Structure 1
Amino acid sequence: MLLPRPVAALPEQLVPEERSVGPDGEVLLVFPADSPVVRAATHAQDDELPAVLEITDVAPVSVPNRIRGRAWVSGWLTCVRGVAEPGRMLLRLEVGEARVDDLWGTGMVEPESFAAAAADPLVEHEAELLQHLHAAHGDQVRQLCGLVGERAADTAAVPVGLDRFGLRVRFSGGERGRVFDARFDFREPVRDIVGLRRAMHQLFEAAAH
């Protein structure tokens, strides 16, 4: 959490304990009641406090350069009193704009698009699924090298990202020791774990031929 004025705080004091998105696209943040962020928002009283929430997306598997992407959500921060449990404070970040920097480049997200976005159906299971793929299906993941071409020859393959649209794999090693990511799109977006099993079977089947 980045505030517009210097705040005497340790970095961990600026990290919310909980984070969620409200029905109107606002970001809801829970902090300890004595947090410097809460003090700054309280000091602003009826004025909105400009702030930026920085989010770092880290791969849940062990690979070099584990950061998959970053996002910055900027807007105005206010206290929501009487909602959080004792000793904590709920803060509301009204979104002005959002920016994403990931494998596909850097892009802006308008508040309306941010509010309308739906959570990916695999988000709650992604870490477990990637770790399972890496540990139990490593040979099949390595077969995906055949779909990439010569640049993936003799490389190690580790699954680093999974969502309803496809699988992201990191290739590393080979003669030149290069590291790169490749995206394997599913034939159609999956809605649940059953659909994911079918999509992964189709992907591995294509790689085996």
Structure 2
Amino acid sequence: MPSAAERTRTLVQSTCSALLVVPGLDPARAEPLLPESRHVGPEGDVFLEFPANSPAVRAATHAQDDDVAAVLEITDVAPVSVPHRIRGRAWVSGWLTCVPGIAGPGRMVLRLEFGEAYVDDLWGAEGIEAEDFRDAVPDPLAAHEAELLQHLASSHDEQMGALCGLLGERTTPAARRPSAVPVALDRFGLRVRFVEGRGSCFDARFEFPEPVRDVTELRRAMHTLFEAAAL
């Protein structure tokens, strides 16, 4: 399974919704605190781009030698229509400083020096140490996950439904099978949410024989999985 550090690093570098919370700023004005871009540096610090007149930039600029504590909150929502669409949340807390000269005109990059992080997702809840976050590598499928899940949900409904036959004791006759929606995908496997009657649902995880490194290897792994379900 992906480590907590890998999952958090993947979320930070994804397109998931993110909000920077700076104590003392009005939380009702959330829009100015949405970073326009974000990436992780070689030492594990998070770099966030904002308009130069953002309250977050003003707070970091006026602090001078004082530490400005902040928390980056990330919310991961499934890119397909499924019950309970929020797949997880992650929090990275630390201290803000301005990094002038990197962003274009009217923009400013803020560095969030990593203090600690926490993730609560489909795998569970866990804290992340600075060294683990720094050394973690984002999942190689993250950039394609939304498109791949949407494709599976819209174009492979029959194959997705056939995965119910791999559930062992939970296997049901075809006439009463729950609908199957792909809800998460990573290099280790596919997570499917089976939706039963009256809105009840459960997840099942289908692991690949070995981790995949790219979309080409993923196609082969999915073909093998669907072949097994068709037997």
TM-score, normalised relative to structure 2: 0.85
Distance 2:81 2:27 in 1: 34
The 3-state SS of whatever aligns with 2:143 is coil
The 3-state SS of whatever aligns with 1:69 is strand
Match of 2:93 in 1: 74
> Is 2:180 aligned against 1:180?
no
Match of 2:188 in 1: 165
Deviation at 1:103, TM superposition (A): 1.3
Report if aligned partners of 2:45, 2:111 keep a CA contact under 8 Å in 1: yes
Deviation at 1:163, TM superposition (A): 0.9
Match of 1:87 in 2: 106
Match of 2:222 in 1: 200
Taking a change above 3 Å as real, the CA distance of residues 8 and 157 of structure 1, as seen in their structure-2 partners, is closer
The 3-state SS of whatever aligns with 1:145 is helix
Residue 71 of structure 2, aligned match among 44, 52, 58: 52
Taking a change above 3 Å as real, the CA distance of residues 66 and 8 of structure 1, as seen in their structure-2 partners, is closer
Q: Which amino acid aligns with 2:23?
A: P
> Is 2:162 aligned against 1:143?
yes
Aligned-pair RMSD on alpha carbons? 1.5
Deviation at 1:106, TM superposition (A): 0.5
Q: Percent identity?
A: 68
Report if aligned partners of 1:168, 1:181 keep a CA contact under 8 Å in 2: yes
Distance 1:139 1:56 in 2: 31
Report if aligned partners of 1:8, 1:36 keep a CA contact under 8 Å in 2: no
The farther-off stretch of 147-156 and 117-126 is 147-156
The 3-state SS of whatever aligns with 2:138 is coil
**How many residue pairs end up in the alignment?**
208
Higher helix share: 2
Distance 1:116 1:152 in 2: 41
Instruction: Indicate the structure whose relative CO is greater, using CA pairs within 8 Å and at least 6 residues apart.
Output: 2
- Unaligned 5+ residue runs, structure 2? 1-19
Moved over 6 A (4+): none
Match of 1:38 in 2: 57
Taking a change above 3 Å as real, the CA distance of residues 152 and 85 of structure 1, as seen in their structure-2 partners, is farther
Q: Which amino acid aligns with 1:188?
A: E
